[in-house]
Structure 1
Amino acid sequence: MGESLNPSALSRIVGRLRPDWSRTAAARRFAAGALVILAAVAALRPDPAHERTDIVVAARDLAPGIELTAADVRLETRMATTVPDGAQRDLAVVVGATLAGPARRGEALTDVRLLGPRLAESAAGPNARIVPLHLDDTALLDLIRPGDVVDVLGAGDDAGVGGGTEPQVVATDAVVVLVSQTPSGAGNGGERVVLVALPAQDANEVAGAALVQRVTLTFH
């Protein structure tokens, strides 16, 4: 007599546990395809460690015009996409440099935050120069801020009412890049100075005039 049309409970359990080879083969193909896709994604995605970089930041609030020390700066790891252009990555380059403007703790120090050719170029164009000026009217130093555009005027000691020499404009459109802080402590004899950026020829003329004349500034 043939196989019973009513299988026993044991037969039904065995049938359910027996692998369905068609379903198993499809599952294997799906799993293999998924692995290939994951491998491709992993190959194309950059290593997360490569998306981060060390940059130099201010270790504390810093005043403009100071010479940076090792205690003023530190390295900090940040996402590469958040790092500004010109960010400094070498502490040795920054230590000993002069800070051109105030910086908050944690602020990235870029090339244009330090006195140097890049700062002059960013302020006054290619081949620009930075000129230090000791102003005849020192009260102006409390009014000037980095980024101000000024004209430089020079005159001899006999200039003014009744004098023989009228003030002359030595250079126009100078950009202030640094105003030194008031010296701390009594009797230090320090003198405040303002640094301006100008094209090379104008800068040389201003520097020469400042050697033999009193100079002052007018604001734009």
Structure 2
Amino acid sequence: MDFAERFAHWRTPGYRRSVAIRRAVGIALVAVAAAQLVIGAAREDPAVLVFSREVAPGVALTTDDVELRRLPDTAVPEGALRDAALVDGQVLAAAAAPGEVVTTTRLVGPDLTAALVADEPEGEPFSMVPVPVAEVDVIPLLTHGARVDVVGQGPRTVATGGRVVTAGEEGTVLVLLRQSDAEEVAASSLSEPLTLVLSARPRAFTMP
């Protein structure tokens, strides 16, 4: 049966043409409904901020570093941000890759502090203290969240149980410590060289 014979019933009024037309209309309606479901589902997906490019830790973010993207609700983590104005000028705690969702715990602030010390016992509140590093080559070893102790001359232990917040390329390490320890470290850094010792790995890094 050639093409003309196969579709001859479309040109001839009768039962076969009516059935064929109803089938074609039914298929078209199903296709339209399916397309509407897909479009509707996409519109219902929440729009959240993701990083639009690689960003180094310790960098102050701008609106050019992020973009809005619709993601399935199951793929959106807790604390995801949806307004680019909320990240403008905020400091990134750990390196970010394109497509990663921007959350409050990725930025230096109270939510990040709470996450870092969630396993710490109750007591004196924590504060962040910046400590300049003499040799920037050690910066890659001071990863976000690493536990460190601060040692001064003597040697003497200035503070223990610190957590690295950021270790930027500028040579400054931001360390989270109990309030009194943070004050002691800030004062000591003005008068003596300090050393950071990784609690998990006993290796020291000299600071001015």
For the aligned pair, the TM-score class normalised by the smaller chain equals: 0.5 to 0.7
Partner Cα distance (1:143, 1:49) in 2: 42
Moved more, 107-116 or 192-201: 192-201
Match of residue 58 from structure 2: 65
1:198 is the counterpart of 2:186: no
Work out the CA distance in 2 between the residues paired with 1:120 and 1:207: 19
Which of the numbers 94, 104, 107 marks the counterpart of 2:97? 104
1:74 maps to: 67
Q: Number of aligned residue pairs: give it.
A: 155
In our comparison, the structure showing a higher alpha carbon Rg is 1
**Secondary structure, counterpart of 2:187 in structure 1:** helix
Counterpart of 2:129?
A: 131
CA distance in 1 between counterparts of 2:97 and 2:134 reads 32
Query: Does 1:180 pair with 2:159?
Result: no
Q: Which runs of 5+ in 1 are unaligned?
A: 1-46, 156-165, 182-190
Q: 1:106 & 1:97 partners in 2: Cα distance?
A: 18
Q: Which runs of 5+ in 2 are unaligned?
A: 1-39, 200-208
Q: Say if 1:200 and 1:124 are closer, same or farther in 2 by CA, change over 3 A.
A: farther
Change (3 A) 1:61 1:137: closer
Any idea what SS the aligned residue of 1:71 has? helix
Whether contact under 8 Å (1:117, 1:129) holds in the other structure is no
User: Which contiguous aligned blocks of 4+ residues in structure 1 show a shift greater than 4 angstroms?
Assistant: 47-51, 136-139
User: Matched residue of 1:211: which SS?
Assistant: coil
**In 1, Cα distance between the equivalents of 2:187 and 2:132?**
13
Mapping of residues 1-220 of structure 1, within 5 Å: 48=41, 52-125=45-118, 127-136=125-134, 138-155=136-153, 166-181=154-169, 191-220=170-199
Q: Contact conserved, 2:135 with 2:171, CA < 8 A, in 1?
A: no
Which stretch shows the higher mean deviation, 200-209 or 65-74?
A: 200-209
